[in-house]
């Protein structure tokens, strides 16, 4: 049976909640107040009486949005439990442990401070279903009516939220001699992990050098964190550390650096975790990646006999595929990695700990572990286009893509996809020969530009 709601186009919800620039369109007090009310109405109709956990990252706008969101929920008769600054995966975990009907993270993830967003989790710590999101959007079109004063929701603050999450993170690893003797530089992007990640690593015995742990509301993701690993690389070399770990603003992504200062992306992290799990018999199935995952990951997993499946870009699709296949591990090159054996969503700290577990178990450096996967060179060119989906079914572009694929053969691939955030078409070519893929990517981009550029 076809789910009609899944086919309907959503007006506000994207693949990861609602996001935008503060003060514009949807990220403004009026909209967020109404959104809180709509969410509350839907939850109360579904559960009778609901409570919602609310966390946030460190953006200056978080104070404003937290207040109006709580007011909107209260006006619908829903209780709000405030967590304060907290990583997104922590909200997913705590929503389950507190048996809340939903969890909300106020964050725009890796975006600059002037953006913000609202991420939602269901009672089981997963992204909201399409049915619930459609129901919320339908409520947004109704007039906002307050419940009777006797039924208004209450708000309370959870003081031990970070401590609970720290203990959970520590419980996911089995480090024989703990992390004593390992020197780690941790870059928290001046974001939501600033008070959690260093504590987890220290309590496991590591010597920790902290950077990006002084949030001021404006410096989140600013030349630091997983989107700017150059700072981490320099710090690892300067401190002569064994490795480095960088998170994004809300802690659901992680990028690492080895002792040589070389960056280890999400594909390599997934490979390290998968190979270690495979050797221990705990992988339980294959691995899910996306259309952007490096061909080297697929090839290296194949040599081990590990199945690999690709999805569209977006952690939502990765996690959906994991549930469909009943597998545990998946991720994106950007460092958004989910291990369903431990948690329900992408979790930067949990992913980093699984890599450290492999380092400890193998007794070798992170550099040696990542060198076991050979990455293929990738060339990515963005072509400006007013209507990014306009290349679909275009005969000239299809012929150019087919020609490129023939030139690359079985040791390369080509991908065109519209950006979900910019008016561009992303042209990606991957293969063993860097000079070759650079030339064919430029040639293909020229064709795309002439046909649909603007």
Active site (catalytic) residues? 109
Burial class (CB in 10 A: 0-12, 13-18, 19+), 393: exposed
Both tokens of 262, joined, read 């070389």
Burial class (CB in 10 A: 0-12, 13-18, 19+), 390: middle
Alpha carbon distance 107, 332 (integer Å): 19
Sign of CA dihedral 288, 121, 86, 174: negative
Contacts of 324 (CB under 8 A, 6+ apart): none
Nearest to 253 by CA among 183, 189, 324: 189
- In Å, how far from its chain's centre is CA 193? 14
* Beta-bridge partners for 384: 424
């Amino acid at each position: 049976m076809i789910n009609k709601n899944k086919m309907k186009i959503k007006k506000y919800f994207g693949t990861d909640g609602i996001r935008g620039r503060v003060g514009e369109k949807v990220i403004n007090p009026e909209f967020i107040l109404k959104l809180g009310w709509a969410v509350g109405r839907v939850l109360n109709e579904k559960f009778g009486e609901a409570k919602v956990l609310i966390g946030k990252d460190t953006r200056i706008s978080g104070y404003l949005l937290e207040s109006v969101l709580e007011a909107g929920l209260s006006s619908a008769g829903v209780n709000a439990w405030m967590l304060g600054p907290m990583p997104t995966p922590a909200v997913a975990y705590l929503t389950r442990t507190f048996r809340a009907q939903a969890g909300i993270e106020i964050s725009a993830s890796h975006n600059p401070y002037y953006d913000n967003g609202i991420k939602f989790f269901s009672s089981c710590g997963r992204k909201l279903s399409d049915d619930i999101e459609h129901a919320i959007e339908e409520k947004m079109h109704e007039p906002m009516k307050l419940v009777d004063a006797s039924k208004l929701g209450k708000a309370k603050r959870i003081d031990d939220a970070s401590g609970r999450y720290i203990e959970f993170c520590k419980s996911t690893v089995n480090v024989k001699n703990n992390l004593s003797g390992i020197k780690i530089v941790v870059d928290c992007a001046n974001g939501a992990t600033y008070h959690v990640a260093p504590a987890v690593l220290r309590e496991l015995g590591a010597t920790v050098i902290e950077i990006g742990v002084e949030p001021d509301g404006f410096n989140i993701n600013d030349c630091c964190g997983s989107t700017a690993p150059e700072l981490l690389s320099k710090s690892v070399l300067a401190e002569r550390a064994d490795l480095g770990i960088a998170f994004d603003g809300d802690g659901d992504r992680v990028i690492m650096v080895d002792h040589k200062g070389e960056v280890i992306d999400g594909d390599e992290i997934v490979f390290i975790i998968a190979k270690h799990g495979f050797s221990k018999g705990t992988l339980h199935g294959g691995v899910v990646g996306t259309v952007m995952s490096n061909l080297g990951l697929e090839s290296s997993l194949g040599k081990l006999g590990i199945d690999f499946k690709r999805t569209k870009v977006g952690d939502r699709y990765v996690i959906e595929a994991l549930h469909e296949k009943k597998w545990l591990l998946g991720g994106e090159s950007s460092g958004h990695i989910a291990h369903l054996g431990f948690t329900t969503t992408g979790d930067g700290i949990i992913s980093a700990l699984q890599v450290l577990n492999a380092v400890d178990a193998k007794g070798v450096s992170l550099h040696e572990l990542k060198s076991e996967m050979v990455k293929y060179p990738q060339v990515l060119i963005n072509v400006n286009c007013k209507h990014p989906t306009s290349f679909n079914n275009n005969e000239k572009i299809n012929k150019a893509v087919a020609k490129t694929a023939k030139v690359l053969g079985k040791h390369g691939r080509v991908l065109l996809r519209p950006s979900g955030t910019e008016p561009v078409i992303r042209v990606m070519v991957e293969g063993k020969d860097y000079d070759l893929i650079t030339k064919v990517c430029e040639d293909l981009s020229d064709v795309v530009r002439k046909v649909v550029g603007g």
